[in-house]
Amino acid sequence: MHLAYPVVLSALLFCTGLYGVLARRNAILVLMSVELMLNAVNLNLVAFDVWLSRTAEETLHSGQALALFTIAIAAAEIGIGLAIVLAVHRNRGTANIDKLRDTAEGPGPDAPDGPGGSGGPGGAASDSDDAPTTRAAVTKAEASA
């Protein structure tokens, strides 16, 4: 068997996984795409190990051993990643990466401090307490005006 067949298959798997990581918004699908990329690397490791063992006089099979380590690390990564995604889904109610990223970022430097309306550590209210703070409140205020 030629080396080109598994290498091309591995490249296609890796590109599919890369597309999944970059385009998907669900955290579980992103983890599955990372797993697909790791499996493409494992396929390359085993294919090159078999190809090089034909030319070498002693067969160490280091590519296959490295593939086993990669499989073990990938299993641990998926276990921990799924545990984190499930905990976040229970707390936030979504596994959408964009919504999780929006909630992780703090308010900007010009934004009010939050729903409490406290202006600072002294507890003084800011001047923007009467201003609508959400997009729904803005559209409601515009519709009533």
pLDDT tens for 81-136 read 999 999 988 988 888 888 876 656 666 666 565 555 554 454 444 444 455 456 66
pTM over 0.85: no
Structure tokens at 91: 């707390």
- 72 to 76, 83, 87: CA distances (angstroms): 6, 17, 23
For residues 59 and 22, which has the higher predicted lDDT (pLDDT)? Answer: 22
